[in-house]
Amino acid sequence: MSNKPNAREAIVDTASRLFFTQGYHATGLNQIIKDSESPKGSLYYYFPHGKEELALTCINRTSEEVARLLRHYMESEAVPAQAVQNFIMSMANEAEKSSFEGLVPFSFWVAVETSCVSHELRTACQCVFRDWQDIIAKRLIREGVQEETAECKASVVVSLFEGALLQALTCRNIQPLEAAAECIPAILA
Amino acid sequence: MSNKPNAREAIVDTASRLFFTQGYHATGLNQIIKDSESPKGSLYYYFPHGKEELALTCINRTSEEVARLLRHYMESEAVPAQAVQNFIMSMANEAEKSSFEGLVPFSFWVAVETSCVSHELRTACQCVFRDWQDIIAKRLIREGVQEETAECKASVVVSLFEGALLQALTCRNIQPLEAAAECIPAILA
DNA sequence: TTTATTATGTAGACCAATTGTTATAATGGT
DNA sequence: ACCATTATAACAATTGGTCTACATAATAAA
C-alpha cells in the first residue's frame, strides 16, 4: 500500500548507483529493472525518453546531493582548508567502508563518457563541476581571497579530488585521497 | 607488399583512440574494424581473446608512450615544478588543438570502467598510475626530497592532472588545466 | 626447377545473446 | 467507468564472438 511513486525512486536509486560505479554504457536497462525490482513498463512510464532521460535525472539528483554535503562541510569549519580536508577524508572513509563498490557520488568520471552521448548530458555535467567549484570559491572569497584567485583554487581542489578518487577506485586504496588531503593547506595558503 | 603486421598496428591505433575518447563499453568491435579498415578476421587473429585482450594491449602501449613523454619533460628542466608545468600545458595545448576529441592519452578514466570488467585490466591500470608516479617521485628524490614525501607529492600531481583533464574534457576548456599548472609550485615547494 | 605442404594473414558471412525501445494488454484503486 | 500504473511480449539493431573459405608466402620434397 501507499507505494505510489516509490517505483520511480527505486529506479533512480539503483540506476544512480550503477551508473556511477560501472559507467553509463556498462549499465543496461535490464540490470536496472532487475536490481531495483521494478518492471520495465514503469521505467518507460516515468522516463518516456528512456535511458538518456534517466541518466540526466540521476546526474542532477546526485549532483544536488553532493552539493548539499559539500556545503555542509564547508560551513562547519572555521578554516576552509580544514573543511576541505574533512570532506575528502569523509569520502575516503565512505569509499573504504563499502569496499570501493558503493555509490561514491563524487566520482564523476561518467562525465566524459556521457559527454559523448548527447549535448544535453554534457551540459549537465558541466553544471555539476561549476556548482561544486562555486561552493568552494564562495567560501574562499568570504575568507578574503580575491575572486579570481578563489575560482582558480576552487577548480584545483575539485580537480585534485576527482583525480584522487579515480586513483583510489582503481587501486582500491585510500592512499591517493590521503595524499590529496595532506596537500590541501599548501594549495589554499 | 611487406604489409606484414600493419593491420595489427592499425587496429591498436584506432582502438586506443576510441577507447580513450569514448570509453571501453561505448566502443564496439564493429566500429574498430570499420575505422581501422581491417577485417574482423584479422582482429581475432592477432587478439584471440577478443576485446579484453585488445584493451589490455592498448592500455599497456599507451601507458608506455605517455611514460616516455613524461620522462622526457621531467628530464629537460632544471626545476621539477617547471617540468611538470610544461608537461601539463603541453597536454593542454594538444587537447585544444584537437578540439578535445583526439587521443589524450593521459585521460585514464577508462581505468574505473575497465576495473569492473576483469581483474587483469584493473591490475594493468594500477600499474599505469604507479609507473607515472614513480617517474615524478624519482625526480623529486634526486632533488633531495625525502622518499616518503616525494611519493606523496607525486601522487598528488598525478591526481591533480587526471582530475583537471577530466574537467577540461567535460567542459571543452583548458582552464582547469591552466589552474592546475599554476598550483604546481605551491604543491612541490 | 618444379611440385607439394604448411604457415601466415585476410575476408566476411554468420551466430546467439543482448541492447534500448515500443506497443498493447492487464491490473487495481477511486 | 476511469485513469494511473504495471506487466508482457515483441521489436529492430547491435553486441562480442565463431566459423570457414581464400589468398599469399615460405619451406620441403621430387
Which whole number is the average pLDDT over A151-160? 98
- For residue B6, pLDDT over 90 is answered with no
- C-alpha–C-alpha distance, residues B11 and A106, integer Å: 34
Which whole number is the average pLDDT over A40-56? 94
- For residue A1, pLDDT over 60 is answered with no
Sign of CA dihedral B4, B37, B116, B109: positive
- For residue B101, pLDDT over 90 is answered with no
Burial class (CB in 10 A: 0-12, 13-18, 19+), B91: buried
- For residue A58, pLDDT over 90 is answered with yes
Nearest CB neighbour to B26, from listed A25, A155, A182: A25
The reply to whether residue A112 touches residue B166, judged by beta carbons under 8 angstroms, is: yes
> Average pLDDT, whole number, for chain B?
92
Domains of chain B: 51-188 (1.10.357.10)
> Average pLDDT, whole number, for chain A?
92
Reported as a pLDDT band with limits 50, 70 and 90, residue A103 is low
Residues of A in contact with B115 (CB under 8 A): 169-170
What is the model's pLDDT at position B65? 92
What is the model's pLDDT at position B103? 67
Strand C: residues with CB below 7 A: A 27-31, 40-41, 44, 48-52; B 3-8, 38-42, 44-46
> Taking the mean position of all CA atoms in its chain, how far away is CA A16?
10
- For residue B2, pLDDT over 60 is answered with no
Reported as a pLDDT band with limits 50, 70 and 90, residue A3 is very low
Which is more confidently placed, B47 or A113?
B47
- For residue B105, pLDDT over 90 is answered with no
What is the model's pLDDT at position A102? 79
Residues of B in contact with A21 (CB under 8 A): 116
How far does the CA of B1 sit from the C1' of C22, in Å? Answer: 52
Residues of A in contact with B116 (CB under 8 A): 21-23, 26
Scan for cell 529493472, then name that residue. A33
Positions on chain C within 7 A of a protein C-beta: 8-14, 18-25
- C-alpha–C-alpha distance, residues A187 and A157, integer Å: 8
